[in-house]
Structure 1
Amino acid sequence: MINEKLPKIWYGGDYNPEQWEPEIWKEDERMFKLAGIDVATVNVFSWELNQPDEHTYDFTQLDETMDRLYKSGVYVCLATSTGAHPAWMARKYPDVLRVDVQGRKRKFGGRHNSCPNSPTYRKYSTLMAGKLAERYKDHPGLLIWHISNEYGGYCYCDNCAAGFREWLKERYGNLDALNKAWNTRFWGHTFYDWEEIVPPSELSEEWGGNRTNFQGISLDYRRFMSHSLLECYRLEYEEIKKHTPNIPVTTNLMGFYPELDYFEWAKYMDIVSWDNYPSLDTPVSFTAMTHDLMRGLKSGDPFMLMEQTPSQQNWQAYNSLKRPGVMRLWSYQAVARGADTVLFFQLRRSIGACEKYHGAVIEHVGHEHTRVFREVAELGRELQQLGDTLLDARTEAKIGIVYDWENRWATELSSGPTIALNYVNEVHKYYDALFQMHVESDMVSVEEDFGKYEIVIAPVMYMVKPGFAKKVEQFVAAGGTFVTTFFSGIVNENDLVTTGGYPGELRSVLGIWAEEIDALFPDQKNQIVMKRSWGSLEGPYECGLLCDLIHSEGAEVLAEYGSDFYKGMPVLTVNKFGKGRAYYVASSPEADFLQGLMKNLCEEKGIKPLLDAPVGVEVARRVKNGLEYLFLLNHNAEASAVEIGASERKDLLANAVVTGSVTVPGRGVVILESKPQS
């Protein structure tokens, strides 16, 4: 349980009373009660209000907000306000402002504009966190701390350059080791003095986003920037913990956000929280995968849904309304996959600036007679009804899918073999195959204990970090099934190629070696031709993007390429290693192939789908105290019938006992409680 003060799924969201006059606050309280709102996130961007100048701190309005909300029955998620520094700070201490990748010094404006290595920012942000914690440590309405907001964005200023050099000294110890790791004999880049090293900006090594001359330098700068921003978070965290050691602390993450290594960040978060903003056309399975990633950051612990819109967003190219029922459906999708909160941005819609067209519980019309408010209030009633039933429930998956931010950075920085390779998309293809089968999976780091799983899948494992190959070998030797793909085992943690043939350190467990890698144009395809029918796989199937030209070194060839000069070469192999098996998929296949492959592997390991549900109906499960909670989430506009078997189950939302077949309304939700099914 996040905080025992509120033993239910928290319901509420971001609230900005400072943007409104006092007469509005009373109306807010009335409507919060109608909607079942019991948590408000406040003080997210109020640094300038709390500290109007360098020496003055004024918490008068925040005091009033904290007291008023608590008296009205609303608890507080208290932010530290450090996501946007005040204008006076930028004017007096310009070191607080970032320098962008093109070398331009920013002015005051926007948010996320603070240099993470600015002594000024670190000093005053830590002071603010400490003053807030000391002031509100005993406030009965305080539930959780929310540090800053949506950390992100890199800086290339002189302070960051100096910090980068110090970070490199700690990482490599001496210049000889650094020069070797970066392969600086290439293009005459050998460094003889630490001061010669500069950040890889568009003034030095990079251009056009993720294009760089030196992958090692750019990779390390991404590590350093993630580390620098994490240090800012940790300074505030430690200051807060001095005063409130028993109040949980978090910051809101952003799913697959590319710039920060969230597995590393999660080590310093008491609970993971994240902001979920899919588009109308975002695949349902991608949102599910992101929830699973957030759950996986702390090895399966429940997480917080910190933000979602009640209906409309303001910052995407096409900001569609959530259709009737979708807000509720997507809220329960988060809960089904591990969320113990349902929080919105925002509770009352702003009247000015860039978020005035971002949806809210209370719209510009200002009353409760709106479609959005009615839906929010109905969900609030259901969450009150559920109480603490689902809190701390876990997911028990037997399949782990490896995701690694540093591997993503290295893959995206690679100068070839194709611009079309998208690491996240390739991971999603494997996740989606299991999702469509209603088979549970966890998103895991390279540091996770693989022994918890029957199957571990590591798509595009381009970078093999120290110890990973040995870990895979031990997992497979003990009886596990390992699956990896094209463009795997190529480089080490410094982005230096492991010579002796791809897939490098994974070559032994896979029983193959790769000679060349062919990059196909978007309109080019090859084929996967099965050497014999294997379970659900018959073929042929299309493949594309990249094609590894591989040779067996003991692995059984299950399928071959169907065309081009490498027709007849292996494209799918399996290698027996100890008690287990390791599979290699040498190209990027179509969905039908992956679903067939996953079905075969699940059958081999005795892993069964949660249910046999119709297309468009998502099935997820949480388990607690010897009971399982099965979520049926119908993403179709029309009702769908789902066979649940002969055993009796309790429909928690309808408060009825059901058996046999359950009809899930269009965009509807059913939550079934029962003893685990055999």
Structure 2
Amino acid sequence: MKPTLADATRGRILFGGDYNPEQWPEETWHEDVRLMKAAGVNSVTLGVFSWAKLEPVPGAREFAWLDRLMDLMHGNGIGVVLATPTASPPPWLGRLHPDTLPVDQDGRTEWWGGRQHFSHSSTTYRRHAAAITEDLAARYANHPALTMWHINNEYCTYDWSNQAAARFRTWLQRRYGTLDALNTAWGTAFWSQGYGDWAEVHTPRHAHYLRNPAQVLDFKRFTSDMLLECYLAERDIVRRHTPHPPVTTNFMPLWAGQDAWRWAEEEDVVSVDLYPDPRDPLGAQHAALVQDMTRSQARGPWMLMEQAAGPVNWRGVNHPKPRGLNRLWSLQAVARGADAVCYFQWRQSRQGAEKFHSGMVSHAGEQGRTYQEIQRIGAELAGIGPEVAGTHTANDLAILHDWHSWWAGAHEGRLSTEVDHPQVLTAWHRALWESHLTADFAHPEHGLTAYKLVVVPQLYALTDSAIDNLLAYVHQGGTLVSGFLTGVADEDDRVRPGGMDARLRELFGIRTLHEWWPLEERERVECEGFRGTLWSEEIERVADGAETVAAYKGGELDGLPAVLRSGRAWYVSTLPEPSDLRELLSRIAAQAGVRPVLDGLPPQVEAVRRGEALFLLNHAREPVTVPVPGTHRDLLTGATVADEITLGRYGAAVLKP
């Protein structure tokens, strides 16, 4: 049985962050420990970017400084998430071994001087990464401070180099077996692209005009698989030395380069980095989407590996978090399943590219507002941890998402560059979030029978297995709502006859899909009861057995179905404006028996149940009163709450009967 996050948390919520003490004189370490203990920090991540410190010249091993740090942490009751340092190779590796450096699609080498400058396909890189990982794991296998392994960091490297091309050919040979099968899958009869020798197959580099979309799709699959191979190699090394501590690597939210469903199956702990914009009025909704997706990948508690205590450094304008927002968003993560709330980084750097990225201890020091807020958050998480850690609440609602479908739908020759998969996904999640409905995420081939309602914002490409799964779900009594451009193509990005799979057309009551009518950025299409954005479709419904819930009004599509319903299956052929989509989905959800955890919630208040605890989160600057029938205890304050509670600016409560 593989380790879990519970093996590291031990009934607590982990609280801390990336600690990079090699940036500071050693006397600062003891000051850091004092501040950590005062803030309730119980976990730090060490070594993420320490390769050059650990191996300053080829073959050297400088572990003495890390020995002292591991001992210091253990002596003060702080656990260590020990990282393999392989995300940022030292300069000597690139200088001595240029094959370790990635190449972009224009043939330019990506040099050292930043980070993530490694070729996932380089055998030299993999050999050196394995060697430092081996020695690190052997040295600290029995150290009592070790609680978890963190492999690499934010895997996000693409590579179009010759060595990547060689591995790509091998990957394709395993996938297709023969060139004939490859040519069929890629549709190379178009534009005279037929391959007669494997040596002709390359990574999809810069081309005069549009590149083959099936080739690009497979390259994205290949990239995810190559990065996963790098992760698995290091994971297996540390597991061999230390079978009990769980292993993780941190996802970036909704990053296009990883099939996170597949990756999550290989992790003991699913973790993510999350940086909503504090000036974005929908920042909390973005965070909720990422948290829901991560919880679903983990199938239970998960780890918030990184967030910002204040401003980041990579936006055009980097705003701090207003007073109270850091606390609110940290509690939101716990509400949606996080058993670890961590930051990048502990102490704000004085030099380097991220010296203006905030830390738990800012440049203002312990008297600064940031650290004062960190102290409060640490104390509150310590208080609620024993009540909520390890708990998980099943939901009645699932949103379907698939990276392969996203990759296929994002090809250069699509009908509208205005249609962006994350944008559509966010719009549908927002409609549910504003309806106070908490959703899981699921892969279209996952079992869906536990859900009363399944929504498909957009799945451009679907396998036959996925389509059969959706049909079976509806036929077994589930309610399905699908957005536009779903089921258009198969897994090879081959358009299905009729422009949508025939089984789906029958399910939704569509006789014929005549034309797609994409809309301009600010264009709107009038429909009965609402206005549509982004997209519209010329569809003809089946005469009997399907209901036109709303028709288009005016223009070329006048009188044709905009929203169709056939039994328990709904099809929405445009993207209704936010309030209209919210009204539509909340109405369908109610009919399917899916309801908020509380009635009468103010619009700015988020209510999420985790186990027996009810989290109430006020995302507004103004106080608000929330009805909570019955008597409860607020785990944050210890106060008794009867029938209602007032939440202040960015206020929160965690209620238990």
TM-score of the superposition, structure 1-length normalised? 0.93
Q: Secondary structure at the residue paired with 1:642? A: strand
Q: Structure 2 matches for 1:543-622, cutoff 5 A?
A: 543-553=532-542, 554-576=545-567, 581-611=568-598, 612-622=600-610
Aligned to 2:292: 292
Deviation at 1:437, TM superposition (A): 1.5
Residue 51 of structure 1 is matched in structure 2 by 55
Q: Secondary structure of the equivalent of 1:375?
A: helix
Give the C-alpha shift of residue 524 in structure 1.
2.0
For the 8 Å contact 1:289–1:443, the answer to whether it is kept is no
Could you tell me how far 1:213 is from its partner in structure 2? 2.5
Aligned-pair identity in percent equals: 36
* Residue in structure 2 matched with residue 639 of structure 1 by the alignment: 623
Separation (CA, whole Å) in 2 of partners of 1:501 and 1:156: 33
1:71-103 CA-to-partner distances (Å, cap 9, x unmatched) read 122110100111111111111111100111111
Q: Are 1:123 and 2:107 matched, yes or no?
A: no
> Structure 2: how far apart are the matches of 1:337 and 1:106?
38
Q: Secondary structure at the match of 2:534?
A: strand
- When structure 1 is superposed on structure 2, of 508-517 and 325-334 the one drifting more is 508-517
What SS does the aligned partner of 1:294 have? helix
Moved more, 337-346 or 592-601: 592-601
CA contact (8 A) 1:2 1:248 kept: no
Query: 1:311 aligns to what SS in structure 2?
Result: coil
What's 1:2 paired with? 6
Aligned counterpart, 1:195: 199
Q: How does 1:354-373 map to 2 (within 5 A)?
A: 354-365=353-364, 367-373=365-371
Partner of residue 380, structure 2: 382
Equivalences for residues 34-183 of structure 1 within 5 A: 34-183=38-187
CA contact (8 A) 1:464 1:505 kept: no
1:176-575 correspondence runs (5 A): 176-202=180-206, 204=207, 212-282=210-280, 283=282, 284-298=284-298, 300-365=299-364, 367-512=365-510, 513-529=512-528, 539=529, 541-553=530-542, 554-575=545-566
CA spacing shift, 1:399–1:387, aligned 2, 3 Å:
closer
372-381 or 587-596: which moved more?
A: 587-596
Output aligned runs, 1:623-638, within 5 Å.
Answer: 623=611, 628-638=612-622
Contact conserved, 1:11 with 1:39, CA < 8 A, in 2?
yes
**2-structure distance, mates of 1:501, 1:152:** 34
Aligned mates of 2:250, 2:402 — CA distance in 1: 19
Q: Is the 8 A contact 2:100 2:125 kept in 1?
A: yes
* Alpha-carbon separation, structure 1, partners of 2:263 and 2:404: 13
State the partner residue of 1:662: 645
Superposition deviation, residue 13 in structure 1: 0.5
TM-score, normalisation: structure 2: 0.96
CA separation in 2, counterparts of 1:550 and 1:67? 68
Q: Secondary structure at the match of 1:670?
A: strand
Q: Secondary structure at the match of 2:558?
A: coil
> How far has the Cα of 1:510 moved from its partner?
1.5
Is contact 1:462–1:490 with CA below 8 Å preserved after alignment? yes
1:185-227 CA deviation, whole Å, 9 max, x = no partner? Answer: 100000011110111011x477xxxxx4311000000000011
Letter in 2 for 1:320: H
Contact 2:306–2:342 (CA<8 Å) still a contact in 1? yes
Change (3 A) 1:107 1:414: closer
Shifted more, 313-322 versus 545-554: the winner is: 545-554
Deviations 1:328-370 (A, max 9, x none): 00000110111001111111111111111111122224x4111
Please give the alpha-carbon distance, in whole angstroms, between the structure 2 residues aligned to 1:544 and 1:635.
Answer: 27
The residue that corresponds to 1:535 in the other structure is: none
Distance 1:414 1:493 in 2: 17
- Contact 1:337 1:395 survives alignment (8 Å): no
Q: Distance in 1 between matches of 2:562 and 2:258?
A: 34
- 3-state SS of paired residue (1:493): coil
AA paired with 2:618?
N
Does the aligned pair in 2 maintain the 1:35–1:378 contact within 8 Å? yes
Partners of 2:499 and 2:22 in 1: CA distance: 62
Deviates more, 1:177-186 or 1:425-434: 425-434
Query: What is the CA-CA distance between 1:281 and the residue it aligns to?
Result: 3.3
Report the 3-state secondary structure (helix = DSSP H, G, I; strand = E; otherwise coil) of the residue aligned with 1:156. coil
How far does residue 508 in structure 1 lie from its aligned partner after superposition? Answer: 2.2
Deviations 1:523-572 (CA, angstroms, capped at 9, x unpaired) = 3211121xxxxxxxxx2x11021111111124211111011121000111
Q: How far, CA to CA, are the matches of 1:32 and 1:306 in structure 2?
A: 17
* Residue identity opposite 1:629 in structure 2: A
Retained in 2: the 8 A contact 1:503–1:514? no
The worse-fitting range, judged by mean Cα deviation, of 658-667 and 188-197 is 658-667
Preserved CA contact (<8 Å) 1:255 1:275: yes
Q: Deviation of residue 55 (structure 1)?
A: 2.0
One-letter amino acid of the structure 2 residue matched with residue 634 of structure 1: N
Could you report, residue by residue, the CA deviation over 1:127-176 in whole angstroms, capped at 9, with x for unpaired residues? 22221111111111111000011110200111100000000001011011
Unaligned 5+ residue runs, structure 1? Answer: 207-211, 530-538
Contact (CA 8 Å) 1:489, 1:505: kept in 2 or not? Answer: no
AA matched with 1:157: S
RMSD value, Cα: 1.4
